[in-house]
Amino acid sequence: MSRTPLDTVEHAAATPDVELPWAELGLKKDEYERVVEILGRRPTGAELAMYSVMWSEHCSYKSSKVHLRQFGEKAPENDALLVGIGENAGVVDVGQGYAVTFKVESHNHPSYVEPYQGAATGVGGIVRDIIAMGARPVAVVDPLRFGAADHPDTKRVLPGVVAGIGGYGNCLGLPNIGGEVVFDAVYQGNPLVNAGCIGVMRHEDIHLAKASGAGNKVILYGARTGGDGIGGASILASETFDDAKPSKRPAVQVGDPFQEKLLIECTLEAFQEKLVVGIQDLGAAGLSCATSELASNGSGGMRVTLDDVPLRDSTLSPEEILMSESQERMCAVVEPEKVDRFLEICEKWDVIATVIGEVTDGDRLEIFWHGEKIVDVDPRTVAHEGPTYERPYARPAWQDELQADDANKLPRPRTADELKDQVLQLVASPNQASKKWITSQYDHFVQGNTVLAQPEDSGMIRIDEETGLGVAIATDGNGRYAKLDPYTGAQLALAEAYRNVATTGAKPLAVSDCLNFGSPEDPAVMWQFAEAVRGLADACQQLGTPVTGGNVSLYNQTGEAAIHPTPVVAVLGVIDDVARRTPVAFREEGQLIYLLGDTREEFGGSAWSQVVHDHLGGLPPQVDLERERLLAEILISASRDGMIDSAHDLSDGGLIQAVVESALLGGKGARLVVPDGLDAFTLLFSESAGRAIVAVPRSEELRFTDMCGARGLPATRIGVVDGDTVEIQGEFSLSLEELRTAHESTIPALLA
């Protein structure tokens, strides 16, 4: 894009008729005309580069922000919330002077193009968001969605993604404690690679992304800027995939976890010495984002000399430098008298650091190249005043037909042998089978503070060794439910993550989300998005768990085929003492198994309907948020007071899936009876929400049932931990060995 003569601000003003490649950079005609209107002239090539990446769907949320406002408008009162939506990540108070920051983001399209680097740099980017808040990263989680498990392209994408996540996270020394893996043909050309990170700090260590104080220096530090990832995530995630348009596939960023580890330690030491006024990581949109956001969030302007940016490739044009999304880079604003010490710390950690500019007392972002001004903009117009679209949306014509195709009417097993066979089919299906082959490639226990990790209901990290204070995190989302009803589907995602946190004994506090949808230019997709956001905002308000931030990923479709609407919800919880956590595994023979909650005939979107009948239709399970709150309170109290020894939420696969997982993890069998009012099929396969199973020591049975009765929570004794089989009395029995073979052999056979 470089021109001769250099396309300076002065040259742009004097040459209004020069044609610029705005369409090639992803801008619409009216968007380009708005840039001209804002500037009062045509943009320079460098300005066009900045507006194109910052006004992309990925960076500006131009199709989604009219709906996302509900998260603020409906935000519940919550004393724990310290930093909310609008910063690099949300921050919550977890007690004892500690604050925890957490966020989930997407790296979907880059991971399809280049699975290893796409996934690796997704981890790297979310970790830098956490560092930028002033926190030390302590754990990562990865919710993943792939195409059909037996499809050849899944065998290309999945191993690379898993290796990228494991390789980057393991090298950083961060335990991977949660997430999930889902297979469905709808994700064939659009895998979802969402990455989350948790960081811990003291309250006084919170940092924000702003450039304040005229004369303060802007320091770029970390890796050199290269040609990898020019326009990468920002443009790549803002277009529908089309194999005929390779120009829509910019180079995916290349990660270096060892450089990022140095960057973490360097940054935390600078924070410790109070050297930093404001900070921003360089992720999507690179320097364009860091400079414009720091300046627009501060009290003045900024002047930057682009010649001072350390390069890996000396042939890069100024436009390419501004658009590059090279990894492992950050921007810090530092007072002049502290610059030397900041640079000393960078040198100690072998991190390249360069003063590239300073904060001014004006209101403009000015960037220079070879002594000439090539950018002169109001930074707010770049970072925060991009287009806002009220996209048309409409309930799709096929929705009624889909919901009328009721899964509750599918043929059910007629004999005990058929019931037994369908249980084996379920636990061996790719989505319900053990993911050990995948998760064993991640280090769960590095740093020594992990107390729960996959396949537990939620991951849990100890953050204070003396008191045992800890936090738990769970990520959930069922695209099949959301396809049937996006409003309810989003609420079910929140409810499941909320429940998963509570089963471990932690109190749910706050939410981050990653909203994965198809093209916003399709009114049906936009309706799904609007309904999901409305559902999530309403549910967060009722449960008292504010959305602290997150990510929207649109254009997840190839041609006309969109993915299922997939809102992934992360819930963070706090536990006073991790020693009182509750695991999933059955631990003691003779303990009593109780089913908490109500079981109804609810099979719409269920694992049973998918595995046995390859069917999607009907309505998803009902949501009762007050029941979810009550269930959580009882699970937390029972865990704290030692009334239960294990707990497992009921969700995908229903009760039988939960019982099999608890039995296999503990190496202890279970004998179950079908309670009055239910048949064996409904007991085993229903996916009614607001339920969990718990194992209660006999000595605690009366105390536990009295508590449930007093609070009005249905608690039904359905069996006992016993032997080396899972037996449904009067129906069938399956040995743990037989179940383990079915459960653990599927994924290695498909992917090894």
- Catalytic, out of 67, 107, 207, 615: 107
Q: Is 136 helix (H, G, I), strand (E, B) or coil?
A: strand
Counting residues of the chain whose pLDDT is more than 70, the rounded percentage is 97
Q: Which of 627, 631, 634 is nearest to 542 (CA)?
A: 627
Is residue 251 over pLDDT 80?
no
Confidence band (pLDDT; 50, 70, 90) for 236?
low
Is residue 599 over pLDDT 90?
yes
Q: Integer distance in angstroms from the first to the last C-alpha of the chain?
A: 45
What would the mean pLDDT of 407-433 be, rounded to a whole number? 97
Asked if the structure places residue 712 within a domain, the reply is no
pLDDT of residue 253: 78
Asked if the structure places residue 424 within a domain, the reply is no
Cβ-count burial 50-75 (b if 16+ within 10 Å, e if not): bbbbbbbbbbbbbbbeebbebbeebb
User: In total, how many domains does the chain have?
Assistant: 1
Confidence band (pLDDT; 50, 70, 90) for 744?
very high
pLDDT one-digit tens code per residue, 478-509:
999 999 999 999 999 999 999 999 999 999 99
Residue 19 CB: number of other CB atoms within 10 A?
A: 6
Q: Which of 196, 294, 284 is nearest to 235 (CA)?
A: 284
Is residue 42 over pLDDT 70?
yes
pLDDT of residue 249: 39
Q: Which residues contact 90 (CB under 8 A, 6 or more apart)?
A: 81, 83, 84, 101, 102, 103, 510, 512, 547, 548, 549
Q: Residues 237, 121: contact at Cβ < 8 Å?
A: no
pLDDT one-digit tens code per residue, 659-691:
999 999 999 999 999 999 999 999 999 999 999
pLDDT one-digit tens code per residue, 605-624:
999 999 999 999 999 999 99
pLDDT of residue 86: 83
pLDDT of residue 198: 97
Is residue 751 over pLDDT 90?
no
Is residue 337 over pLDDT 60?
yes
pLDDT of residue 247: 37
The position carrying tokens 């702003």 is: 210
Is residue 352 over pLDDT 80?
yes
- Catalytic, out of 58, 109, 615, 648: 58
Asked if the structure places residue 156 within a domain, the reply is yes
Cβ-count burial 185-223 (b if 16+ within 10 Å, e if not): ebbbbbbbbbbbbbbbbeeebbbbbbbebeebbbbbbbb
What would the mean pLDDT of 66-91 be, rounded to a whole number? 91
Asked if the structure places residue 179 within a domain, the reply is yes
Asked if the structure places residue 472 within a domain, the reply is no
Range of the domain at 235: 58-383
Confidence band (pLDDT; 50, 70, 90) for 54?
very high
The position carrying tokens 């640079």 is: 343
CATH number of the domain that residue 225 is part of: 3.90.650.10
Asked if the structure places residue 92 within a domain, the reply is yes
pLDDT of residue 240: 57
Asked if the structure places residue 559 within a domain, the reply is no
Asked if the structure places residue 556 within a domain, the reply is no
Q: HEC string of 77-88?
A: CCCCEEECECEC
Comparison of pLDDT for 300 and 134, the residue scoring more:
134
Q: Is 311 helix (H, G, I), strand (E, B) or coil?
A: strand
- Residue 107 bears catalytic tag: yes
pLDDT one-digit tens code per residue, 390-416:
999 999 999 999 999 999 999 999 999
Is residue 71 over pLDDT 70?
yes
Stated pTM of the model: 0.95
